[in-house]
Amino acid sequence: MTTIRLGTRRSALATTQSGWVADLLRRRGHDVELVEIVTEGDVSTAPLATMGGTGVFAAAIRKALLSGEVDIAVHSLKDLPTAPEDGLVIGAVPVREDPRDALVARDGLTLGELPTGAVVGTGSPRRHAQLVALGLGLEVRAIRGNVDTRIGHVTTGACDAVVLARAGLARLGRTGEITETIDPLQMLPAPGQGALAVECRADDAAMTAALGEIDDPDTRACVAAERALLAELEAGCSAPVGALAEIVEGEDGEEISLRAFAGDTDGELELRRSLVGPMDDPEGVGRRLARILLDDGAGVLTRPPVPATRHTKSAPQSRQPVSADRPS
């Protein structure tokens, strides 16, 4: 039996996610080895938006895949550009982890319990925009780094709280550090958040068949709707856009229910819209909801996003900005 070479970033979260996919394949009789690949996003301290967005994490891995250095690659789906890559195909979207965002705050506080002027760290313009839109008087500051680095801003007192993807904390076994799992009514996740994409070469029939064994059709449909919305907006995977699709029971059977947010980090734009559509056309649902957002003013998001910096609607400027950290 030929061993499947699985390309992964070297961070703890990436290798954990890749190991989970490897175990799914091993349980189906495949031999798998992990091959670590260093990406530009792993070695730079620059804000992701200035480097072209989170797609920088995928570029090096895709290059290794196309060159034959590895056979498959695992990506956090929210980091994967919506445009297809020539020669590659997403062979599997396994069952999704909880897609919601999570707060890790000092003293066990929730968002509503944080005092006016509390410093909340995030590297995401989407989270930044929705935190500002809540009108809680929070001071939002840009941070970077791996999970340890980000949570470290709370333990050292540099931030009162940070916002992270709950899925990543769950995969690392660190849900005990979460002080609040944020309701999507307050903060919609990034399109594809909590889901993984496993890519292979389009002409590799054996890998395509093997990955089909671990694909989850419901998850694939939901993320297809979310990513179609993002693509139609032409906003980029680091833009202040949130989306969450769920499968619901309609009068004629299962349907796709899609909610979306589009906003900016200045709090001048805040759009929340939703749409329900047929299960067999998730991309169409996403595109239609995107056009609703565009008709209502979301077209400004087609401009390159401005990196998130210190911002608040009403909080006092009482602390120094948190510097970016080198990810692992």
What is the DSSP track for 44-90? --S-GGGGTSTTHHHHHHHHHHHHTS-SEEEEEGGGS-SSPPTTEEE
**Residue 122 has which token pair?**
């995030």
Phi and psi torsions of 116, nearest 5°: -55, 135
Rounded CA separation 59/295 (Å): 33
- CA 211 distance to own-chain centroid: 22
Structure tokens of 260?
A: 């979306």
Which has the closest alpha carbon to 114: 160, 158, 159?
160
Strands 270-278 and 72-76: unpaired
Which sign does the torsion angle of CA 305, 308, 311, 317 carry? Answer: negative
Which one of 23, 31, 42, 79 is the catalytic residue? 79
42 alpha-carbon distance from chain centroid = 16
Non-local (6+) Cβ contacts of 80 within 8 A are 55, 58, 192, 197, 237
Specify whether the backbone of 83 is left (phi greater than 0), alpha (psi in -120 to 50) or beta.
Answer: beta
Whether 79 is a known active-site residue: answer yes
End-to-end CA distance of the chain: 33
* Residue positions annotated with a catalytic role: 79
